[in-house]
């Protein structure tokens, strides 16, 4: 990546690099956070990062297919959010906690 | 101008993403995620995805995040306890993450065919008309299957949230 005066427009690889950075941040939040809601939001961040690469590839290839794929990702994310938040509600109802380390019935 | 817009919105997205990870209160994380989604919607517009940018704002920032904030309010989620990072995570996590990022950047530079810079307006295939045309011709079956998926998800959410699980 040549450094110098700011070009008028950036190449698509910069968008893909931004997507990789956001995905890595999502992984970081997923692994580090202990609150189940924040963990869930990190998953949404990863989905968003992948959407950005879909749209960028769509631009590079000059086809609309990447947009359709990111549309489907959004639909799946909406379904996943509805079910996942219902599961979080049920877990909280049964255990009165949102810490993922305390929900460890399956451990040992 | 396009480069400036990209850098501004990319900086907003990365800063909000870092804020999402470091904040301990879930509501701060949720608001940071809204910031990421707004910045990404602007980037989609730069890439010519008018429909996707609007859907991003309406579906993600509008509907899904409202659901998140609603659940945070409902559960009265407070600040999480100080996290204790395990030693191997402390010394291995950051180098592995940087290795992953470096590998991704290298692969992107290496594999992507040399293409012209992203200029606003150069790609017109992302208009609602174009999206709708391919959604209802080439991608008709997946589109119909998603409606079944959403129906199942709604039913599952209702059953999960209502039933008293012992």
Residue B20 has pLDDT above 60, yes or no: yes
Helix ranges (H only) for chain B are: 2-22, 26-46, 50-55, 65-75, 87-111, 128-135, 140-162
- Beta-carbon pairs below 8 A across chains A and B: 240
Nearest-CA distance A77 → chain B (Å): 8
Distance from chain centroid for Cα B23:
18
CA nearest B60: which of A101, A70, A9, A92? A70
CA nearest A18: which of B47, B26, B123? B47
Percent of chain A with pLDDT over 90: 47
pLDDT digits (tens, 9 = 90+) for B144-156: 999 999 999 999 9
Residue A89 CB coordination number (10 Å)? 17
CA nearest A28: which of B37, B18, B11? B18
Residue A36 DSSP one-character state: H
Nearest-CA distance B131 → chain A (Å): 7
Structure tokens at A72: 């489907």
pLDDT recorded at residue B147:
93
- Ramachandran quadrant class, B121 (left: phi over 0; alpha: psi -120 to 50; beta: rest): left
Residue A11 has pLDDT above 90, yes or no: no
Four-residue CA torsion sign, A80, A63, A11, B41: negative
Q: Which of B4, B12, B29, B69 to mutate to test the interface with A (most CBs of A within 10 A)?
A: B29
Which residues of chain A make contact with B2, given a CB cutoff of 8 A?
8-10
Q: What is the pTM of this model?
A: 0.89
Which residues of chain B make contact with A6, given a CB cutoff of 8 A?
3-4, 7
Query: Under a CB-based contact definition with an 8 Å cutoff, are residues A45 and B112 in contact?
Result: no
User: What is the band of A22 on the pLDDT scale with cuts at 50, 70, 90?
Assistant: very high
Residue A95 has pLDDT above 90, yes or no: no
| Closest in B13, B71, B115 to A11, CB measured | B115
Token look-up 């904040």 returns B23
Q: Rounded to whole angstroms, how far apart are CA atoms A45 and B104?
A: 17
pLDDT digits (tens, 9 = 90+) for B96-149: 888 888 888 888 888 877 777 877 877 888 889 989 999 999 999 999 999 999
Q: Please state at what angle helix B26-46 crosses helix B65-75, rounded to 10 degrees.
A: 180
| Closest in B85, B112, B142 to A12, CB measured | B112
Q: Kindly provide the ipTM of the predicted complex, given to two decimals.
A: 0.88
Q: Which of B89, B144, B160 to mutate to test the interface with A (most CBs of A within 10 A)?
A: B160
């Amino acid at each position: 990546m040549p450094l110098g005066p700011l070009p008028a427009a950036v190449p698509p690889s910069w968008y893909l690099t931004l997507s990789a950075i956001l995905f890595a941040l999502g992984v970081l939040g997923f692994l580090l956070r202990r609150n189940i809601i924040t963990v869930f939001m990190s998953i949404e961040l990863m989905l968003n990062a992948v959407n950005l690469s879909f749209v960028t590839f769509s631009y590079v290839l000059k086809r609309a297919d990447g947009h359709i794929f990111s549309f489907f990702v959004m639909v799946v994310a909406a379904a996943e959010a509805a079910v996942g938040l219902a599961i979080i509600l049920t877990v909280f109802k049964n255990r009165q906690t949102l810490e993922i380390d305390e929900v460890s019935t399956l451990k040992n | 101008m396009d480069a400036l817009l990209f850098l501004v919105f990319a900086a907003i997205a990365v800063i909000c993403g870092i804020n999402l990870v470091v904040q301990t209160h879930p509501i701060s994380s949720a608001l940071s995620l809204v910031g990421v989604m707004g910045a990404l919607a602007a980037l989609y517009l730069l890439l010519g995805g008018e429909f996707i940018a609007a859907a991003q704002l309406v579906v993600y920032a509008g509907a899904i995040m409202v659901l998140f904030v609603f659940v945070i309010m409902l559960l009265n989620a407070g600040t999480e306890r100080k996290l204790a990072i395990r030693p191997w995570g402390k010394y291995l996590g950051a180098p592995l993450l940087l290795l992953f990022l470096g590998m991704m950047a290298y692969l992107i530079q290496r594999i992507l065919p040399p293409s012209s810079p992203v200029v606003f307006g150069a790609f017109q295939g992302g208009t609602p008309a174009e999206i709708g045309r391919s959604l209802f011709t080439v991608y008709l079956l997946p589109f119909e299957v998603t409606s079944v998926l959403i129906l199942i998800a709604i039913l599952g959410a209702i059953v999960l949230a209502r039933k008293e699980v012992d």
